[in-house]
Amino acid sequence: MTIPRPHPEPQPQPQPQSHSLRRHAPGLYATGGPGGGDPVGGDQANGDPVNGAPATGWTVATALPVSYRVRFAPGVLDPGNPALARAGGPPGRRLVVVDARVHELHGHRLRRYLTAQGVEYETLVLLAHEQVKTMDAVFQVADRMDSFGISRRGEPVLAVGGGVLTDVVGLACSLYRRSTPFVRVPTTLIGLVDAGVGAKTGVNHGRHKNRLGTYHPAVETLLDPAFLATLERRHVGNGLAEILKVALIKDAELFVLLERHGRDLLDTRFQSPGAGAAVLGRAVHGMLQELQPNLWEHRLERLMDYGHSFSPTVEMRALPELLHGEAVCVDMALTTVVARRRGLLDGEQAERVLRLMRRLELPVWHPLMEPVTLAEALADTVRHRDGRQRLPLPSGIGSGVFVDDLSGRELADAAGWLRGWSAVDRSGSVAVGTAWGAGTQVRGSGERA
Ligand SMILES: NC(=O)c1ccc[n+]([C@@H]2O[C@H](COP(=O)([O-])OP(=O)(O)OC[C@H]3O[C@@H](n4cnc5c(N)ncnc54)[C@H](O)[C@@H]3O)[C@@H](O)[C@H]2O)c1
């Protein structure tokens, strides 16, 4: 599978390419039980009894190659642009699910577009924020797919909105008749660089973030940064946090771009010509480079989990105070301090990271960053990562390592130090350098060396 690149025209969906059916006769397993081992005598796929005995077990093996498209599509709602009307299938009928706020701001353009392209459509307008990201929202979408009478393969649902909306619609589509295609048009920065480009769908469940979900990528994602023009400033910063994640853990050049242009991108909402395209392009490419070889997350050491070790618990407990990217940023600030204290970053690098977070108007600390919550967050993450921490930490700027030995004491000390730093440096007036001489080991809790 290759990383999706922009293509001019949609391509047919892949079909399963390799499969086999093997039969096992009683007592003929080399190892394990039915389905667990190779039958003595090899493959038996021709309908004959196995060594004269009737088959009583079968092993089914199949492979489903996955291919989906992510591409920049400026002017996606321009009436003459066929990209959206043709995305994921022949033009025709479409169910369009739109975030309520996006509908208010861009609904008239969407209607004009669909009419101009001759699409027969119905619209479902959904409230989309973290507290309504639940199965109830999924059921609303499924009910509407039902009453619309959606075709199983030829009428992809169009999901237009931020990460909450596309996660909910993706889950509904993966469940409805076990799999229905959908197309994403992300309208937030997190959607453009993260939620809109991967394979995961999900909703929150109980007290847990994205606890119910599936892997079901949209057949096509169309990225139009023009939507960001109406996004609240805080939500632009929120998306910049996810871009900073990619920069910090795998792309030093992106980090430098953010240092130089991040504040301007926040001020202009990515609407001025200049660095915006490079920043978005690098962020999406970096994300896809990491996702593509491990799309189903069989390998649990994931660089893109950076900033997502403590943040799921902190975000859910702080709701609605912290946005997703803000919680990720608090987590990254904490683990930057941990990495600094371990000598994985030098003082100057750690200083650049925390300063950049501040310049992007992102939080670096939250009152929930206290030992009990952090220990619970880590325990939940260890469960999520099959019994090991597998904790990504920055190692210099632009690369990362995984550790398994973070202690509660180390965590508490780092959080204490960060709390002290964020209190003193709230205005940005106190230089981090006064607290962190390059190469200096930071000492005790809340203390500056
Ligand atoms: N599936 C994944 O791989 C993945 C990856 C990262 C994040 N996520 C999920 O994404 C969610 C966060 O996404 P988000 O930051 O887009 O939040 P969001 O979907 O809640 O959108 C943020 C706010 O912006 C509004 N909005 C959307 N587009 C707008 C526009 N163009 N102009 C003005 N307002 C607009 C929305 O109504 C909402 O109030 C989280 O639930 C997170 O778990 C999923």
d(CA 118, CA 89): 14
pLDDT band for position 141 (cuts 50, 70, 90): very high
Q: What pLDDT does residue 47 have? A: 54
- The average pLDDT across 272-284 equals 95
As a residue count, the chain comes to 449
Quote the ligand 1 centre to 384 CA distance (angstroms): 23
- Is the minimum distance from the CB of 186 to ligand 1 under 6 angstroms? no
pLDDT band for position 274 (cuts 50, 70, 90): confident
User: Of the residues 70, 76, 99, 228, which should be mutated to test ligand 1's pocket, given the most ligand atoms within 8 Å of the CB?
Assistant: 99
d(CA 57, CA 345): 55
**pTM to 2 decimals?**
0.87
How large is the angle between the packed helices 347-359 and 324-341, nearest 10 degrees? 170
d(CA 93, CA 157): 9
Closest CA to 308 of 188, 393, 404: 393
Q: What is the pLDDT of residues 212-254, one digit of tens each?
A: 999 999 999 999 999 999 999 999 999 999 999 999 999 999 9
- The average pLDDT across 294-320 equals 93
Quote the ligand 1 centre to 440 CA distance (angstroms): 39
d(CA 437, CA 347): 6
Q: What is the pLDDT of residues 379-394, one digit of tens each?
A: 999 999 999 999 999 9
User: Of the residues 109, 126, 188, 288, which should be mutated to test ligand 1's pocket, given the most ligand atoms within 8 Å of the CB?
Assistant: 188
d(CA 382, CA 375): 10
- Is the minimum distance from the CB of 129 to ligand 1 under 6 angstroms? yes
- The average pLDDT across 410-437 equals 70
Q: What is the pLDDT of residues 97-122, one digit of tens each?
A: 999 999 999 999 999 999 999 999 99
Is the pLDDT at 33 greater than 70, yes or no?
Answer: no
Q: Read off the tokens for 428.
A: 């940005």
- The average pLDDT across 431-445 equals 38
- Is the minimum distance from the CB of 326 to ligand 1 under 6 angstroms? no
- Is the minimum distance from the CB of 373 to ligand 1 under 6 angstroms? no
Q: Per-residue DSSP letters for 355-379?
A: HHHHHTT--S--TT-SHHHHHHHHH
Quote the ligand 1 centre to 233 CA distance (angstroms): 13
CA within 13 Å, CB half, 446? 7
Q: Considering the chain, what is the average pLDDT of its residues?
A: 88
Quote the ligand 1 centre to 164 CA distance (angstroms): 5
User: Of the residues 131, 190, 214, 294, which should be mutated to test ligand 1's pocket, given the most ligand atoms within 8 Å of the CB?
Assistant: 190
- The average pLDDT across 116-141 equals 97
The residue whose CA is least distant from atom 37 of ligand 1 is 101
Lowest mean pLDDT among 44-48, 306-310, 376-380, 381-385: 44-48
Q: What pLDDT does residue 26 have? A: 67
- The average pLDDT across 127-148 equals 97
Q: Is the model more confident about 78 or about 443?
A: 78
Please indicate whether residue 200 is annotated as part of the active site.
yes
Q: What pLDDT does residue 302 have? A: 94
- Is the minimum distance from the CB of 95 to ligand 1 under 6 angstroms? no
d(CA 286, CA 272): 23
Is the pLDDT at 12 greater than 60, yes or no?
Answer: no
- Is the minimum distance from the CB of 413 to ligand 1 under 6 angstroms? no
Show the domains of the chain with their CATH numbers: 20-62 (no CATH), 69-230 (3.40.50.1970), 292-435 (1.20.1090.10)
Q: Kindly tell me the number of DSSP H helices and DSSP E strands found in the chain.
A: 14, 12
Q: What is the pLDDT of residues 257-270, one digit of tens each?
A: 999 999 999 999 99
Q: Read off the tokens for 187.
A: 């309208």
Quote the ligand 1 centre to 191 CA distance (angstroms): 6
- Is the minimum distance from the CB of 200 to ligand 1 under 6 angstroms? yes
Is the pLDDT at 408 greater than 70, yes or no?
Answer: yes
- Catalytic-labelled residue, pool 133, 200, 245, 250: 200
Q: Is the model more confident about 349 or about 24?
A: 349
Is the pLDDT at 203 greater than 70, yes or no?
Answer: yes
Q: Is the model more confident about 24 or about 353?
A: 353
Quote the ligand 1 centre to 163 CA distance (angstroms): 4
- Is the minimum distance from the CB of 162 to ligand 1 under 6 angstroms? yes
Is the pLDDT at 38 greater than 70, yes or no?
Answer: no
**Which ligand 1 atom is the nearest neighbour of the CA of 100?**
37
**Which ligand 1 atom is the nearest neighbour of the CA of 99?**
37
Q: What pLDDT does residue 24 have? A: 79
Q: What pLDDT does residue 37 have? A: 44
